[in-house]
């Protein structure tokens, strides 16, 4: 990415100021970032996405297109 030091800075600030016990700050590094959901949450997200369809002005992208875009972004971020 264009500013690799920015990730380290965000991780440091988040871990100091907004610590969350569920977060794994020490693993937040390029090459290991996960954007794609796995397992049952995907089914839940697909239902949620369908339910919010009326929030789009016009036709929004279908769920599979959104997931493919997120997958490509994850690959790009992690190199």
DSSP state of 61: P
Q: What is the pLDDT of residue 75?
A: 94
Burial letters for 57-72: b for 16+ Cβ neighbours within 10 Å, e otherwise?
A: eeeeeebeeebeeeee
Q: What is the pLDDT of residue 3?
A: 80
DSSP state of 45: H
What SS3 class is residue 15? helix
Q: What is the pLDDT of residue 41?
A: 82
pLDDT digits (tens, 9 = 90+) for 24-65: 888 888 888 889 987 788 889 999 999 998 888 888 899 999
Of the candidates 69, 64, 34, the residue with the CA atom closest to the CA atom of residue 50: 64
Evaluate the CA torsion angle 23, 24, 30, 31 in order and state its sign: negative
Spans of all domains in the chain: 1-33, 36-79
Q: Cα–Cα distance between 21 and 3 in angstroms, integer?
A: 27
Q: What is the pLDDT of residue 50?
A: 92
1 has a pLDDT exceeding 70: no
């Amino acid at each position: 990415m264009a500013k690799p030091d920015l990730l380290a800075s965000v991780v440091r600030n988040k871990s100091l100021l907004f610590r969350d016990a569920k977060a794994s700050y020490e693993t937040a590094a390029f090459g290991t970032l996960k954007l794609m959901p796995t397992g049952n949450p995907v089914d839940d997200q697909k239902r949620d996405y369908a339910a919010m369809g009326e929030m789009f002005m016009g036709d929004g992208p279908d769920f599979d297109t959104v997931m493919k875009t997120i997958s490509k972004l994850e690959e790009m971020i992690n190199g």
